[in-house]
């Protein structure tokens, strides 16, 4: 494709991806409203927070795309924290910083670990992931384990899906867009990993 065609391809993708990823987390912007916000317009009666979630998620995706186009390197904590910093750019006290309080995941039976364990758990997770050549199965398991740890006070789902796409695109595949309409299937796949440590359902959803 020409450079212009590539830009249009990712512009169309990031609009739907931003809508779906944010909607899964409770953002009420419609797909059409998301497209308008990403073009610089504002939506009447929709909170500023939801506008910022859209533009910040778009910026985070293009940051990830830049990493894919750059010199290949292994996933590290600095990259994860930078992606999260862009996703939560409007909250300087929380962006790129591991949480320092307990949290609950609404609708899930899993209780994320004590915040004091997060630096160790994240270090171990990244060491595990980088210990072998990345595969789609390994990426899916990394995503499930990342969401279990829930390292940040907010933005874990959006950040986790962006990290997964970073690694998926590094393998040469197209980025994944988990649809808002498939959120139950997505949550069920994460819950299944929590209960059985089986990742096939999540991997199949990614594929």
Query: To 5 degrees, how large is the angle CA 125–CA 183–CA 195?
Result: 50
Give exposure, 79-106, as e/b (b: 16+ Cβ within 10 Å).
bbbbbbbbbbbebeebbbbbbeeeeebe
Give 76-134 as a DSSP string. -HHHHHHHHHHHTTT-TTTTT----S----TT-S--PPPGGGHHHHHHHHHHHHHTS--
Name residue, tokens 């990394």. 142
Contact predicate 84/95, CB 8 Å:
yes
CB-count burial class (<10 Å; 0-12, 13-18, 19+) for 45: exposed
Indicate the length of the chain as a whole number: 207
Whether residue 126 contacts residue 75, with contact meaning beta carbons closer than 8 Å, is answered with: yes
Token pair 């990493």 is found at: 67
| Active-site residue flag, 150 | yes
Catalytic residues: 150
């Amino acid at each position: 494709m020409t450079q212009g065609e590539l830009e249009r391809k990712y512009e169309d993708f990031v609009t739907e991806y931003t809508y779906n990823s944010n909607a899964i987390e409770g953002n009420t912007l419609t797909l059409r409203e998301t497209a308008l916000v990403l073009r610089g317009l504002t939506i009447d009666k929709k909170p500023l927070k939801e506008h910022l979630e859209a533009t910040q998620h778009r910026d985070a995706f293009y940051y990830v795309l830049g990493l894919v186009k750059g010199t290949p390197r292994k996933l590290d904590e600095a990259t994860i924290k930078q992606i999260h910093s862009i996703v939560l750019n409007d909250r300087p006290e929380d962006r790129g910083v591991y949480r320092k309080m307990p949290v609950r995941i609404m609708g899930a039976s899993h209780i994320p670990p004590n915040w004091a364990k997060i630096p160790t758990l994240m270090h171990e997770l990244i060491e595990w992931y980088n210990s072998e050549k990345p595969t789609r199965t390994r990426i899916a398991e990394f995503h499930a384990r990342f969401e279990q740890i829930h390292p940040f006070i907010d933005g874990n789902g959006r950040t986790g899906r962006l990290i997964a796409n970073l690694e998926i695109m590094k393998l040469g595949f197209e980025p994944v867009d988990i649809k808002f309409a498939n959120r139950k299937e997505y949550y069920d796949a994460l819950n299944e990993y929590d209960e059985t440590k089986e990742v096939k359902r999540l991997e199949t959803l990614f594929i």
